[in-house]
């Protein structure tokens, strides 16, 4: 007898368990501002699934272990079952999003970096937010350790993996005239206790992509979910364009 179960994983994906295997179905759902804004856009799930597949394959070749097992066209991915670590990892190369809001609310989050959308953060920074709270909350490394979500060694390993994911994706994207301004990734532990890159990676849902030519001319042209967040154009068109530019 075969059994199939489906549950919602995060806001835009469903997890399907079938015959002892685990699958992610990338849906057309999109949400922003902690779920306050939500919609569906045709082909959005397929774009994010294809892009995640593209990047997982590249990252695996670069020696970064991931939960990716197989692409099941058009919008499903077989993955290794993981227990998700309850921390979202954010890497930033440029000032945008919630970092800019922190500047605007009077904080001085980074020393020596201009409080301006698009200011470059020369060495990049790695930040952590909670995953399973109603709204994402910025946490420091000590809170991650105090909650026993990660050991010091695991935390350092995750930071180093995130830096490598950034280096690999940024270099590939620059060749295609795209700046990787920031991104969010997640990690999980497999049954053997090994930490793997999880969830999705390198999609316009989880990254800020900026057109490099426009940036050089002093404009920010978003090729990602900011098109939806700030109603800068049609999301299906924007996502189809970024997929073509990245995957060819
Ligand atoms: N991000 C994400 N999921 C989240 C929060 C952030 O994928 O729940 C991504 C977001 O798209 C951006 C990066 O992480 O590429 C940094 O997001 P930020 O903290 O600036 O928050 P935002 O204002 O974008 O929600």
Chain segment 59-81, per-residue pLDDT in tens = 999 999 999 999 999 999 999 99
Decide whether any atom of ligand 1 lies within 6 Å of the 207 Cβ. Answer: yes
pLDDT band of 1, cuts 50, 70, 90? low
pLDDT band of 9, cuts 50, 70, 90? confident
Q: For residue 97, how far is its CA from the centre of ligand 1 (angstroms)?
A: 7
Give yes or no: residues 91 and 203 share one domain. yes
* 181: DSSP letter: E
Give yes or no: residues 32 and 155 share one domain. no
Count of structural domains, the chain = 2
The last residue of one of the domains, among 44, 79, 114, is 79
Give yes or no: residues 230 and 111 share one domain. yes
The last residue of one of the domains, among 62, 79, 96, is 79
Specify the pLDDT at position 35.
87
Decide whether any atom of ligand 1 lies within 6 Å of the 182 Cβ. Answer: yes
145 three-class SS: helix
Q: For residue 195, how far is its CA from the centre of ligand 1 (angstroms)?
A: 22
pLDDT band of 6, cuts 50, 70, 90? confident
197 three-class SS: strand
The CATH number for 203's domain is 3.30.470.20
- Asked, for residue 245, whether it belongs to a domain, the answer is no
Give the closest residue (by CA) to ligand 1 atom 5.
Answer: 184
Specify the pLDDT at position 228.
97
* 95: DSSP letter: -
Choose the residue to mutate in 92, 102, 128, 184 for probing ligand 1, maximizing ligand atoms within 8 Å of C-beta: 184
Specify the pLDDT at position 11.
86
Specify the pLDDT at position 248.
83
The DSSP H or E segment spanning 21 is strand 21-26
Decide whether any atom of ligand 1 lies within 6 Å of the 136 Cβ. Answer: yes
**Cα dist from 210 to 97, 99, 177, whole Å:** 13, 17, 9
Decide whether any atom of ligand 1 lies within 6 Å of the 90 Cβ. Answer: yes
Give yes or no: residues 149 and 220 share one domain. yes
Q: Say what the pTM is.
A: 0.96
Specify the pLDDT at position 187.
98
Give yes or no: residues 51 and 147 share one domain. no
Give the closest residue (by CA) to ligand 1 atom 17.
Answer: 97
Give yes or no: residues 102 and 53 share one domain. no
The last residue of one of the domains, among 63, 79, 95, is 79
Give yes or no: residues 118 and 68 share one domain. no
Decide whether any atom of ligand 1 lies within 6 Å of the 225 Cβ. Answer: yes
Give yes or no: residues 108 and 71 share one domain. no
Q: For residue 182, how far is its CA from the centre of ligand 1 (angstroms)?
A: 8
90 Cβ contact list (under 8 Å, min separation 6)? 126, 127, 128, 129, 182, 183, 184
Specify the pLDDT at position 173.
98
Give yes or no: residues 90 and 210 share one domain. yes
Q: Is the pLDDT of residue 26 over 90?
A: yes
Give the closest residue (by CA) to ligand 1 atom 11.
Answer: 206
Ligand 1 atom closest to Cα of residue 184: 14
**Domain boundaries, position 110:** 86-234
pLDDT band of 22, cuts 50, 70, 90? very high
Ligand 1 atom closest to Cα of residue 207: 15
Decide whether any atom of ligand 1 lies within 6 Å of the 10 Cβ. Answer: no
| Whole-number average pLDDT of the chain | 96
Q: For residue 216, how far is its CA from the centre of ligand 1 (angstroms)?
A: 23
What is the largest distance, in Å, between two alpha-carbon atoms of the chain?
62
Specify the pLDDT at position 43.
96
Please name the residue ranges forming H helices in 96-234: 97-104, 141-146, 152-175, 212-216, 226-229
- Asked, for residue 246, whether it belongs to a domain, the answer is no
The CATH number for 35's domain is 3.30.200.20
- pLDDT, one tens digit per residue, over 90-120 is 999 999 999 999 999 999 899 999 999 999 9
DSSP 22-70: EEEEE-SEEEETTTTEEEE-TTHHHHHHHHHHHHHHHHHHTT--BSEEE
Q: How many residues does the chain have?
A: 248
Decide whether any atom of ligand 1 lies within 6 Å of the 242 Cβ. Answer: no
Give the closest residue (by CA) to ligand 1 atom 2.
Answer: 206
């Amino acid at each position: 007898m075969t059994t199939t179960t489906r549950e919602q994983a995060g806001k835009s994906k469903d997890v399907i368990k079938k015959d002892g295997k685990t699958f992610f179905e990338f849906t057309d759902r999109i949400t922003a501002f902690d779920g306050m804004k939500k919609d569906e856009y045709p082909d959005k799930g397929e774009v994010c699934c294809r892009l995640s597949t593209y990047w997982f394959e590249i990252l695996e070749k670069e020696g970064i272990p991931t939960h990716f097992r197989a692409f099941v066209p058009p919008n499903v991915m077989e993955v290794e079952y993981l227990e998700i670590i309850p921390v979202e990892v954010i890497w930033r190369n440029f000032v945008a999003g919630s970092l800019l809001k922190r500047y605007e609310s009077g904080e001085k989050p980074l020393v020596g970096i201009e409080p301006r959308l698009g200011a470059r953060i020369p060495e990049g920074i790695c930040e952590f937010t909670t995953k399973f709270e109603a709204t994402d909350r910025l946490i420091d490394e000590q809170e991650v350790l105090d909650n026993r979500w990660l050991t010091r060694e695991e935390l350092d390993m995750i930071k180093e993996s995130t830096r490598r994911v950034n280096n690999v994706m940024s270099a590939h994207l620059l060749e295609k005239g795209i700046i990787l301004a920031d991104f969010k990734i997640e990690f999980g532990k497999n049954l053997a206790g090994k930490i793997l890159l999880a969830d999705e990676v390198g999609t316009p849902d989880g990254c800020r992509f900026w057109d490099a030519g426009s940036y050089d001319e002093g404009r920010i042209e978003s090729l990602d979910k900011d098109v939806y967040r700030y109603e800068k154009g049609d999301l299906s068109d924007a996502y189809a364009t970024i997929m073509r530019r990245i995957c060819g």
